[in-house]
Amino acid sequence: MAGTSQSSEEKVEAVQFFECNICLETACNPVITQCGHLYCWPCLYKAQQAFLSRMLLLLGSLIIFCLLLF
């Protein structure tokens, strides 16, 4: 059965295949996007929330800036 065992390099490559693109750990509760990127669900959720918070902050600043112009 020596032919069926994986080398340590193959095992590392297999683990990296399931690596979250945010935390770089093996993905827990993995989510694959339509474009094929793999993330942990908690990492993806936190990143999405941070992005939305920044967008709302920028949008709020833009609204305030626009109101000051008029």
- Model confidence pLDDT, tens digit, residues 4-62: 566 666 544 545 568 998 899 999 999 888 888 899 999 988 988 887 777 666 655 55
**Could you tell me if residue 2 is inside a domain?**
no
What's the pTM value of the predicted model, to 2 decimals? 0.56
Spell 24-63 as b/e; 16+ CB within 10 A means b. eeebeeeeeeeeeebbbeebbeeeeeeeeeeeeeeeeeee
Does the residue 3 lie in any domain?
no
* Total of domains in the chain: 1
**Domain, as residue range, for 12:** 8-69
Q: What is the pLDDT of residue 51?
A: 77
